[in-house]
Amino acid sequence: MKKTTLTLWSTICLLAFAHTQTHAQKREHPVYDSYLFAFFSNNTPDGEQIRYALSDDGFNYTALNNGAPIVKSDTIALKKSIRDPHIIRAQDGKTFYMVLTDMRSSQGWQSNDGLILMKSTDLLHWQHTAIHFPERFPNLEGFDEKNLHAVWAPQTIWDEKEQKYMIYYSIGRHDWEYPVGNKKQPYFKIFYSYANEDFTDITEPKLLFDFGTAAIDGDIVYDKKNQEYVLFFKDEGLHTVNNGFQTRQGVMRATSKHLTGPYTVEYKHLQYSNRAVEGSSVFPLIGSDEYVLMYDCYSAGHYQFCKSSDLKEFTFVQNSPTKGNFTPRHGSVMHITREERNLLEAWSDLNAALNELRRIPIPAYTLEELATRKEIMEHAKQLLKSSADKKAMNKSARKIRKFAGKF
C-alpha cells in the first residue's frame, strides 16, 4: 500500500514537473506582434545612418524617432557612414545582431573594403566592431587595398550544422572585371565567414556563390517545406547574357540543400517592377505560413512588397512611397514583441520631447528655469545614452513636456 502510494505520488510530481518545464520552455519563446525595419535613407552622409520603422502588418511602416538615426555612423564606421543594415534575433531569443556595409558612397562606389558587426540586448545600445579586410586578412591574395573595391551588404544566418553564425556578403575585386560592350563591369561574387562567439570577428572569407556575372545583395531563407536553403540575390550591373539569360538588375533565386552550397540558379526574375531593383529581403508574416519579399525600387521612389506561400511564386501586394520621414533604402525586417516595441517607442518619444524643449528660445527662461532645463535635459540624455528602462523614459518625457508647457 505504501509502495503504491509512493509510486502514485512520484508520478504526480513528475507530471507536474513536466508541465512546469513545458510552460517554462514556451515562455522562452517570445510572442511577436510587430515588425521592425532597419534601413538607411539615401546616398548622403546624413542618409547613410541606421534608422528604424515599425509596422503592425509587415507592409505599412512608420518611421521611429521622427526619421532621425538610431545610431550615429561616425561612432561605429571607419568610413563614418553605413549602408545595408541587416538585423536578426539570436538563437537565445534576447540578443540581437546587426551587420552593415562600412561605406560612404560620396567617396566612390569602389572605395569600400569592410563591414561592421554589432551586438545588442535592447535594440538601442550596440557594441560594434569595424572589420577592414585588407588589414584583417593581409595574407589573403587579391584582398589588398589596391585590388579589393567592395565588401557589400553583409547578412547573418544561424548555421545549425556548425552551430555558428554565418555572415555572407558580396565581394568585388578589380582583377575580376569583365567586358560588356565597350565598358568594364565590376564582378561581384558572394562570400561567407563565421563570426566568433562574441560577434567581434570573422573567419577568412570563402566563396559561397558565383553567378557567372555580377551578383550582389544575397539574402538566404530556409524553406522548411522543401528542406532547402533559398538564396535571393540581385543580378548586378550592365545588362548582359548569362547562360542564355538576359540580366537586368532584378531579384533572382538559387537553392541548395546545404547552407554553404552549391546553389542551383533559377533563371527568372521575381520582381514586379520593370525598373532596376536591389536590396531584396524576405521574412515570414507573423502567425502565417506566408512570406514577404520586399525590395528597393530605388529609381522609382518606392519600396515594393510581394508575398508568397512557397517562396517560389510571389504575388504583388503594394508599392510603399519613400517620402517624408520614411525614406528606406536597402534594409531588413525582424519580428519584435510588444515589450520591445514599447521600449523603442518610449525611447523615440523621449527624443521627441527633448527636441521640443530645444526649440524653445533661450531668452524665454529665467536663470532658475535655465538651471531646471539643464537638469532635466541631462537626465533625459543619460537615459537615452545608456538606459533600457521604458518607465523611466516615459516619466522623463512627461516631465520635459510639463516644463516646456510653461513657455
* pLDDT tens sequence across 162-200: 999 999 999 999 999 999 999 999 999 999 999 999 999
Same domain? 330 vs 366: no
Does residue 16 form part of some domain?
no
- Predicted TM-score (pTM) of the model is 0.91
Same domain? 327 vs 236: yes
Same domain? 301 vs 387: no
Count the Cβ atoms, other than its own, within 10 Å of residue 33: 15
Q: How far, rounded to the nearest angstrom, does the alpha carbon of residue 137 sit from its chain's CA centroid?
A: 25
Question: CATH no. for residue 199?
Answer: 2.115.10.20
Name residues of the chain where pLDDT drops below 70: 1-29
Write down the pLDDT at residue 294: 98
Same domain? 360 vs 217: no
Same domain? 326 vs 355: no
Does residue 331 form part of some domain?
yes
Write down the pLDDT at residue 336: 98
Write down the pLDDT at residue 30: 79
Q: Give the structural domain span for 172.
A: 31-336
Beta carbons of 69 and 50 less than 8 angstroms apart: yes
Domain boundary among 298, 318, 336: 336
Same domain? 328 vs 190: yes
Same domain? 291 vs 393: no
Same domain? 295 vs 375: no
Same domain? 379 vs 308: no
Per-residue pLDDT reduced to its tens digit, 87-111: 999 999 999 999 999 999 999 999 9
**CA distance linking residue 157 with residue 396, whole number of Å:** 38
Same domain? 207 vs 352: no
Domain boundary among 336, 357, 374: 336
Same domain? 399 vs 294: no
Domain boundary among 280, 315, 336: 336
Does residue 22 form part of some domain?
no
- Rg for the chain, CA atoms, rounded: 24
- Cα separations (Å) of 351 from 54, 65, 154, 354? 16, 7, 30, 5
Write down the pLDDT at residue 1: 44
Write down the pLDDT at residue 28: 58
Same domain? 245 vs 370: no
Beta carbons of 314 and 306 less than 8 angstroms apart: yes
Report the domain count for the chain. Answer: 2
